Amino acid sequence: MKCFTKSFTQQPSLSELAIGRAVAVMQSGRLHRYNTPKGEASETDLLEVEFAKYQGSDYCLACSSGGYAMHIALRAAGVQVGDRVLTNAFTLAPVPGAIHNCGAESVLVEVDQNYCIDLRDLANKAEISQAKALLLSHMRGHIADMDELMRICQQHDLLLIEDCAHTMGASWGGKKSGSFGDIACFSTQTYKHINSGEGGLITSNNPQMMAAAILYSGSYMLYENHQAAPDKEYFSEAKLHTPNYSGRMDNLRAAILRPQLTELDSQVQKWNQRYSAIEKELQQCNQVRLPTRSAKENFVGSSIQFSLPARSSTEIAKVVEQCAQRGVSLKWFGDSEPKGYTSKYDSWAYLSEQSKLDRTEEVLASMLDMRIPLTFSVEDCQLIAQIICSVVNNS
Ligand SMILES: *Cc1c(COP(=O)(O)O)cnc(C)c1O
């Protein structure tokens, strides 16, 4: 019986270039983004300029984490205490956490069978909840029909904040994920597409929102140092009314992220080769259902999701266990117990009462989720998929 032995949580090491840049920052002693000789741009400034360019957005702010980015992006977009914010029922815990952090209330929207936000439920809940904003999580890289989604946002006058933790490098209809909404958030945490341990990025074309985000991040009135920021006139009033919620990025992290950004598009190709290899094998197994993806979607296959629609919860739990015995680590969002990174909406007990989410229950009950780290070769991915098929076919 073939087994797989590599770790699903092992990321590739950083390049010599990134390590060299980090060493240079440490030698300089100037790790703080504002500890820069006059007239010189810090590593953090340069990262912001480069990421804004990559995204095709006017402004960018680097900060301490993806969750922090979402928190201040919601505030900068104008979400206030007591406001309702629509968001995906199928997402990760920092998303409802960010909404809670600004005193707003999450209204959870169902997932559809292709693991995207359910647009009919979105339109319906936008109507009945009178929500002010949508925090759209492109969860696990599944991008909803953005044409229809934008129409719903316009019709209901919803602010759109995009959570692009899993879509950095992805696009829809040739337009970068993160360039649809009023403001977008990214994560540079170890398991995302560029790795600084922790970190976040915010992009926007809205000068008021970006000025507010920079002030919230703790700019100590040094916002004029930022090179990917709006003109100083946008700060003049906001600076007295915007509290400092210190959450800046530092130069050490920015220094290791900049070379990774240069490599991002080629890394995306590597992820997609691995994704395709797994997908191809899983298509041979007739009990597995894979999501249908639009031709307009250019996703990043840094993880894969599939369903075993005919299986009961007990059977799914058994598949997870047997795959684990053969070295293949699957996550199951339908589990009643929250475990290592996966938690289901009903374990976020701090949320106010939600309407029934039958569709989400049904989809999550039979959906499995697997990371694809770039330390796996294409052959590794084929072996992994063969193991999954063999477990599914023999259980
Ligand atoms: C990882 C993640 C984030 C951001 O998380 P941090 O760990 O705070 O950087 C946001 N949304 C989703 C869906 C995520 O998976």
Whose tokens are 């040094």? That residue is: 222
Q: What are phi and psi of 84, to 5 degrees?
A: -100, 140
Residues 85-111 have pLDDT tens digits of 999 999 999 999 999 999 999 999 999
CA of 370 to the centre of ligand 1 (A): 16
Lowest mean pLDDT among 105-119, 299-313, 340-354: 340-354
Task: Give the C-alpha separation, 245 to 214, whole Å.
Answer: 10
Residue pair 58/183 in contact by the 8 Å Cβ criterion = no
Is the pLDDT at 178 greater than 80? The verdict is yes
CA of 187 to the centre of ligand 1 (A): 6
Q: What is the pTM of this model?
A: 0.97
Rama region for 211: left / alpha / beta (φ>0; ψ in -120 to 50; rest): alpha
Atom of ligand 1 lying closest to residue 192 CA: 1
Atom of ligand 1 lying closest to residue 199 CA: 9
Which pLDDT band holds residue 173 (cuts at 50, 70, 90)?
A: very high
Percent of the chain with pLDDT over 70: 100
Whose tokens are 């939600």? That residue is: 354
- The verdict on the CB of residue 137 being under 6 Å from ligand 1 is yes
Percent of the chain with pLDDT over 90: 95
Residue pair 369/388 in contact by the 8 Å Cβ criterion = no
Angle at 193 between CA 190 and CA 198, to 5 degrees: 30
And the tokens for 317? 């739990």
- The verdict on the CB of residue 65 being under 6 Å from ligand 1 is yes
Task: Give the C-alpha separation, 6 to 4, whole Å.
Answer: 6
Residue 319 Cα distances to 311, 349, 388, angstroms: 10, 28, 8
CA of 94 to the centre of ligand 1 (A): 6
> Which of 307, 303, 305 lies closest to 287 in space, CA to CA?
307
- The verdict on the CB of residue 194 being under 6 Å from ligand 1 is no
- The verdict on the CB of residue 165 being under 6 Å from ligand 1 is yes
181-208 residues labelled b (16+ CB within 10 A) or e (exposed): bbbbbbbbbeebbbbbebbbbbbbbbbb
> Which of 391, 332, 342 lies closest to 367 in space, CA to CA?
332
Bridge partners of 52?
Answer: none
Ligand 1 mutation target, pool 135, 143, 187, most atoms within 8 A of CB: 187
Residue owning the nearest CA to atom 11 of ligand 1: 165
Residues 115-126 have pLDDT tens digits of 999 999 999 999
- Side chain identity, residue 368: L
When pLDDT is averaged across residues 368-384 and rounded to a whole number, the result is 98
Residues 223-241 have pLDDT tens digits of 999 999 999 999 999 999 9
CA of 246 to the centre of ligand 1 (A): 19
- The verdict on the CB of residue 163 being under 6 Å from ligand 1 is yes
Question: Could you give the strand order of the β-sheet that contains 105-109, starting from the edge strand earlier in sequence?
Answer: 59-63, 200-204, 183-187, 159-163, 133-137, 84-88, 105-109
Task: Give the C-alpha separation, 301 to 242, whole Å.
Answer: 39
Q: Given this model, what pLDDT does residue 277 score?
A: 98
Q: Given this model, what pLDDT does residue 342 score?
A: 76
CA 172, 142, 270, 180 dihedral sign is positive
- The verdict on the CB of residue 139 being under 6 Å from ligand 1 is yes
